[in-house]
Structures are given as C-alpha cells and as structure tokens.
Homo-oligomer: A and B are copies of this chain.
Amino acid sequence: MKYKTRKEEIIQTSTILFKQRGFSAVTMRDIAKAMGIKAASLYNHINSKQEILSDIIISLAEQFTQQMKVIKNSNENNIDKLKQIVALHVDITSNNPYGMASLNNDWMHLENELEYYLKLRKDYENDFRIIIEKGIEDSELVKGNSEVMIFSMLSTLRSLYIWLPKKEDLDIQKFTNELSLVLINGINK
C-alpha cells in the first residue's frame, strides 16, 4: 500500500497536476480521471477543491516557518545559519517537489487560509532578514545591500522545486554544499 488514506492519495495526485498546470487550470474531473474514478467520488474523502490546496500549502509553509525559527535561535554563527537555511530548503523541496510549486505559484488562490499563510511567510522572511543583518553587523558578510542579498538567496531557494526533480539520483548532501558555496561565496575566482 503506497498511501495511508484515500485522502492522501487525492492530495498527492492533485499536487502533481497542480504543478503541471496550476490550481485554476485543474478541474475536479481532471483529478478524478487521474485516479480512475468520477469527480463526485472525491467528495467522499475531501470537502472541497479549496481544502486540497490549503492542505498542500499550509503544511509546507508551517514546516518552513517553524524550522526557520529553530535555525534563527540556535547559537551558531550567521554563515552557518545560512548554510542551514539552504539545507532546509533542499530538504523540504526534495521531499515535496510537487507541492512546492503550489506554495510558490498558487498561494493567492487560498481563501480561508490566505491570511494565515501570509503571516507564516512574513515571519519566515523576517527571521531571514535578521540573520543576514546580524551577519553584516558581525562582519561575517560583506557590507552590502541586505535586501538584495535576501532577494537573491530566497529567489534561488524558492526555485529549487523546478530544478531538483530534473536531477535523478542526485547526491543531496553534495548538492547542498555546492549550492551553499555558490550562494555565499559567489562564482568569481
């Protein structure tokens, strides 16, 4: 048995379709067809299309925000904290390569949970900012535009979902190190 519950199976199937075409372009009939059943049967297991989306997004967002707090509050230096953020993104993304697409592209279609999602994201980004700015303050990072640094790192980390699934049998540990190196030390010789 691959899935614990039928609901999980529906969510997993939806996640794949949402990544390919986006939440709005996927119909309940599409999801049902992919599972070999009729659309109405889905409602024996889930309450609405909206519920599928928020189940996908909120659980991921909570992981990020919670883990980020742990990293921020640890007592390592700021460079090592940044490396742990990279590892966090690689870890969550490689375990949920499809769901990350919804988190990135379809969060605005959340209804009841939209506000909660925005708060999670804001908390996450604030913690990120604090780490970068402390790193500059403590002379671990170059004295530059911290907003540009955050933007650059976060853009790359958020795009992992596009890239990771293309790499079969990737050495996660090695990749995390290579990515940290590029993000932190750049590519200039």
Q: Which of B25, B178, B184 contacts A187 (CB 8 A)?
A: B184
* A183 at the binding interface (Cβ < 8 Å): yes
* Nearest B-chain residue to A149, judged by Cβ: B187
Cβ A188 vs Cβ B188 within 8 A? no
Q: Is A4 an interface residue (CB 8 A)?
A: no
Task: Give the distance in Å from the alpha carbon of A142 to the alpha carbon of B182 in the complex.
Answer: 9
Q: Name A79's closest neighbour in chain B (CB-CB).
A: B188
**Residues 137-169 (chain A) with a chain B CB within 8 angstroms:** 139-142, 144-145, 148-149, 151-153, 155-156, 158-159, 162-163
Cβ–Cβ contact B79 & A148, under 8 A? no
On A, residues with C-beta under 8 Å from B are: 20-22, 24-25, 79, 105-106, 108-109, 132, 135, 139-142, 144-145, 148-149, 151-153, 155-156, 158-159, 162-163, 175, 178-179, 181-189
